[in-house]
Amino acid sequence: MSHIAGHDRSQTLLLPESVDDYVGPENPVRFIDAFVDGLDLAAAGFVRVTAKETGRPGYAPKDLLKLYVYGYLNRVRSSRRLEAETHRNIEVIWLLRHLKPDFKTIADFRRDNRKAFRPIFRQFVLLCRQLDLFGRELLAVDGTRIKAVNNKDRNFTRASLTRFIAQADARLADYLGRLDQSDAEEGRVGGTRTANLAEKIAALCERRERHAAPLAELERTGEALVHKSVKLLKYLRIYETCILPKPLK
């Protein structure tokens, strides 16, 4: 009896599944989508809200803002990580409708609209609190919690509203600061991408095949390593270093 097998990655499905099926009706990402779609970004001070009539089309500011709001809620603190989420996170794929802006586009959007972020994020967290959307789940980036209102009327007093806005603004400033810091650090080290990954995978497979024969011969003869040639010893050391899994400590 064999194990359960998945689909061949290269197989074309006759009836492809809808991405919408992966995001349930109660998924908070739907609230992000509805919230941002209802905003007037031009009035909020965002730039390039209206698409140019000529030139290469750009990404809509609402789509990039949705990505940032999602990152804020889920502690995604760098432009490269936000870019990665657009490729692998089904919620983000749904939210951006398969759009995949690169990390520079994402970072430039934050830089160009930094002043407009604060009132939008403030409005978002206030609305979440008033609607008790996330219950006691976090709406912050530093491990603390912004609790939803639990009293009967869910009204704010002037003091509580002032305190809450100050907390929300501080957390947004912390989030943007962490993004700036992460982007700067990743820029110095060149990010987390692996160049020429396909070539490296092919080289690994070729090396494994080349070293399999000496290992099989050694196992067949049962000879000690000290009796093998220097070249074979070199191959074995390379094999152990680059291919064999490291033992658990």
Do 124 and 209 fall within a single domain? no
Of the pLDDT bands very low, low, confident and very high (cuts 50, 70, 90), residue 134 is low
Tell me whether residue 84 is in a domain.
yes
Tell me whether residue 30 is in a domain.
yes
Residue 2 vs residue 215, higher pLDDT? 2
Cα-based distances in Å from 215 to 201, 211, 220, 237: 21, 6, 9, 11
Instruction: Residue 181: give the domain boundaries.
Output: 19-189
pLDDT digits (tens, 9 = 90+) for 140-177: 434 444 444 444 445 567 777 788 788 888 888 888 89
| CA-based nearest residue to 168, from 73, 74, 76 | 73
Query: What distance in Å separates the CA atoms of residue 150 and residue 167, rounded to the nearest whole number?
Result: 18
Query: What distance in Å separates the CA atoms of residue 134 and residue 237, rounded to the nearest whole number?
Result: 54
Tell me whether residue 80 is in a domain.
yes
Do 202 and 164 fall within a single domain? no
Tell whether pTM > 0.85: no
pLDDT at 84 (0 to 100): 95
CB 66 within 8 A of CB 36: yes
Query: What distance in Å separates the CA atoms of residue 225 and residue 229, rounded to the nearest whole number?
Result: 8
Tell me whether residue 222 is in a domain.
yes
Boundary (domain end) residue, out of 166, 189, 212: 189
What is the residue whose two structure tokens read 């936000």?
82
Q: What is the mean pLDDT of residues 74-93?
A: 93
Tell me whether residue 56 is in a domain.
yes
- Provide the number of structural domains found in the chain: 2
DSSP for residue 157 = P
Mean pLDDT value across the chain: 78
Tell whether the model's pLDDT for residue 41 goes beyond 50.
Answer: yes
pLDDT digits (tens, 9 = 90+) for 3-28: 887 778 787 777 667 889 889 888 88
Residue 62 vs residue 227, higher pLDDT? 62
Pair of tokens at residue 163: 């305190």
Pair of tokens at residue 226: 């000290």
